[in-house]
Every structure is written in structure tokens, then in C-alpha cells.
Amino acid sequence: MAVTSLVAELVEWRLADYLLRETSGYSGSIRCTVSHSEGPPIIRIDRSRHPELPEGWTDLSADGEVLSANFVKVAINVAERPGEQGNALHALLRGWFGPSAGLPGTKHSVLLRQTSDGWEIRPNETLVGIQREVG
């Protein structure tokens, strides 16, 4: 029984790893890893692979609301709601991925896409579905 359980867990892990590499159907999207910076979750970006990513403060649509996000050299580390103080990025990512968003041992990711209306962000649905089944 223990071997069967171990093999099943290994197969699930390999399948999840494979599916994470596949395209999400979110046409023209850029997959970015959710990581952490001394605890709070942030979004890692790879400018060498995606030089089209903006720099500095940029409007970003998430869950139907517009946030102002700070695209720095290697990450999006701050997002603010208009008229509110504080970093809304942490709550957004934890709302999508739970309290473990970006912590070591997780493979959370988001999808960024530029549209005619600006930049959009959403959770990588493939990953969210896998985590619900495996977790």
C-alpha cells in the first residue's frame, strides 16, 4: 500500500509539473512566478524573455478592478488601489492562492497579458485547479 500511495503521489506531481509548462489558453499571456520577499508574496518577472513588460507604475486590471502596479527590474512588488493606502498586491495574491501564496514549496503563477485596454493579470487557472485536487 505504501508503494502504491508513493507512486500515485509521484505521478500527480509529474503531471502537475507537465501541465504547468503548457500554455493556458490565455492568448498572448506571459506566465510569471509568484514568490515572496521576506514573507509577503510578489510576482517575479523575466525581462530577458519578455522585454515588452512595462517599467515603473502601470495600470493593471485584476478581477475587474484597476490597480496601479510597480514593475521594477525583476518583480512586481507593489500594487495600489486608487485612493487607498497600502499594498493591495499581497491581498490579491493570497485571495487567489491562499495564505501560502509564493512560499517555498509552492508553484503559484499568474498570467499577464497586454490588451488594447492595457495590462491584465489573472491566476494561472491550470495551477489553481491542480492545487485544489492534489492539496
| Banded model confidence at residue 16, pLDDT cuts 50, 70, 90 | low
pTM: 0.75
Which position has the grid cell 497579458? 113
Residue 122 to residues 5, 10, 67, 112: CA-CA distances in angstroms? Answer: 33, 28, 13, 7
The closest alpha carbon to 45, from 25, 28, 31, 24, belongs to 31
Domains defined along the chain, listed by start? 28-124 (2.40.330)
Task: Give the pLDDT mean for 109-116.
Answer: 93
Spatial distance between the Cα atoms of 103 and 82, rounded to a whole number of angstroms: 28
> Over 90: is that where the pLDDT of 77 sits?
yes
> 44-66 pLDDT, tens per residue?
999 999 999 999 999 999 999 99
